[in-house]
A and B are shown apart, each in its own frame.
Chain A
Amino acid sequence: MLGTLIKHEFKKTWIIMTLICAVTIVLGILGGIFFKLTIDPDFSSEANEFILAFGIIGFAMILSALSMATTIYLVVHYYRSLYSSQGYLSFTLPVSITEVVSSRVIIGFTWSLLVSLSMGLALFAAVGIPGGLAYVKEFYDELISTVEVSQVYKVMILCVFAIIFRSFATLMTYFFCISIGQLWGKHKILGAVLCYFATSFVLMIFSFGFNYRMFFSPDAFTGLDSFEYLATTLVKTIVYSVVTIAIFYGAAIFTSNKQLNLD
């Protein structure tokens, strides 16, 4: 039944999420065309540089806004479909509560991944259309002249995984807080917000514990291979994110199974 749940969740969310992905990619293409026109040496002027700077800032801001819109939409959908009146249908379907909650988490992660992919494509278009890929290639050649190719690839792959898992962990944190918030019968949203503050505080302590050496003994990093250090940090980020996801997913499932409270 999990497959059927996911199918219906996809049907409910695909219009808005596909729109966000499409807008992101179109924005990348338009941004690329805009950058190509503004950095044209024939039209180089101070005004042009000013417009370019604003264009880059605007582009980054719109991408951030789209990313934020994705998170808000997925979090609101999670809340509405489970803990508002729609939950009366979701939780009376002949499926386990674990499957109901998991379907929302899986759809959330899938869309989050697709939006990240769209962001990547948008950046690729924004850099590639004005001819920026040549500079990227130049930077890459310079990099591999000093570092082993395998190390560069390793860091790149780790970087991609770290970004993906980090965004999943952030989303899962919101989902977990909403699942805890529903325990407050009449003030579910307030409960979720308070839970988020408390969770963030605890996570900050753990994060600090993970990186305490950076704050108290920065000398310990002297002489370290910077690429190796970066790779280690990315691995730590991935492990931290996976553990966070696992704990919050388990807690959201446990809470919904043991303390479902649809007042």
Chain B
Amino acid sequence: MYNLLEIQGLSKSYGNVQALSNINLSIGSGHITGLLGPNGSGKTTLIKIICGLLQPTSGTVLIDGNPVSPQSKAIVSYLPDTTYLDNNMTVEAAIAMFMDFYKDFDANRAYTMLSNLNINPKLKMKTLSKGTKEKVQLILVMSRRAKLYILDEPIAGVDPAARDYILHTIINNYDPSATILISTHLITDVEQVLDEAIFLQYGNVRLYQPVEALRMQSGKSVDELFREVYRC
């Protein structure tokens, strides 16, 4: 099977702290994969290494056959867990920027989504609420026709109605041949959309299986299984 994301022997340590330990993963195309784990399990570290924001201590990451490079970044659409747009930038300036850099960016789709949410593209980011900023970023990320979407905690910190909209946006705006990697610990909200789940614990892959198989084997929902695996 063709693997869009291939990770081999990936480790990352901060001094004496081992954030990731010998991670091996192969993720194919056309899946929505949940990267699940409690705080400090290494989810964000793994994502940052895939996106080229952190250097691994050892191991390799291949995205569509390319190591982390401008070529891999051209096919990865990344939503971080924080606001990454300049506060003095207007929404339309952010769209113009994405259009300039990403060949796969669809400005019409972005403006349609903004209009659906009644977000004025002329507004500066600093005038928007935290939730609206997150929606704008999600719109930018989902307006690309990328091969791999990496969404780091896309529904954390927003109200339940916004969560529904975000999940709806994710589901309705990705090419079925693309892969989405969603990192979250709000499993109940995302469980319905996941095809596969990766459970991370102490920087190791504890479990990586299709969600349906997990449910069948354990007789539990992914959320229940998560609570059992990570019981304090």
Q: Which residues of A contact B (CB under 8 A)?
A: 1, 4, 7-8, 11-12, 80-81, 85-89, 91-97, 185, 258-263
Known: A88-B80, A261-B55. A12 touches B89 (CB 8 A): yes
> For residue A96, which residues in chain B have a CB less than 8 angstroms away from its CB?
69-70
CB distance from A101 to the nearest CB of B (A): 14
> For residue A80, which residues in chain B have a CB less than 8 angstroms away from its CB?
86
> Can you give 18 contacting A-B residue pairs, CB < 8 Å?
A4-B100, A8-B100, A12-B86, A12-B89, A81-B86, A85-B80, A85-B82, A89-B84, A89-B85, A91-B51, A91-B53, A92-B51, A94-B73, A258-B55, A260-B54, A260-B55, A262-B54, A263-B54
> For residue B2, which residues in chain A have a CB less than 8 angstroms away from its CB?
none
Q: Is the CB of A11 within 8 A of B70?
A: no
The closest CB in chain A to the CB of B79 belongs to A88
Tell me if B93 counts as interface (CB < 8 A to partner A).
Answer: yes
- B22-59 interface bits toward A, Cβ cutoff 8 Å, 1 = contact, 0 = none: 00000000000000000000000000100111110000
CB distance from B138 to the nearest CB of A (A): 14
CB distance from B156 to the nearest CB of A (A): 15
Q: Is the CB of B52 within 8 A of A4?
A: no
Q: Is the CB of B80 within 8 A of A95?
A: no
Contact of A261 among B54, B78, B102 (CB under 8 A): B54
Contact of B53 among A1, A7, A185, A262 (CB under 8 A): A262
Known: A81-B86, A85-B80, A85-B83. A92 touches B93 (CB 8 A): no
Q: Is the CB of B101 within 8 A of A1?
A: yes
> For residue A81, which residues in chain B have a CB less than 8 angstroms away from its CB?
86
In the bound assembly, the distance between CA atoms of A17 and B84 in angstroms comes to 23
Task: Rank and list the top 3 A-B pairs by shortest CB-CB distance, nearest first.
Answer: A94-B74, A88-B84, A262-B53
The closest CB in chain B to the CB of A93 belongs to B101
Q: Is the CB of B82 within 8 A of A88?
A: yes
CB distance from A140 to the nearest CB of B (A): 46
Q: Is the CB of B86 within 8 A of A4?
A: no
Tell me if B76 counts as interface (CB < 8 A to partner A).
Answer: yes
The closest CB in chain B to the CB of A100 belongs to B70
CB distance from A79 to the nearest CB of B (A): 13
> For residue B82, which residues in chain A have a CB less than 8 angstroms away from its CB?
85, 88
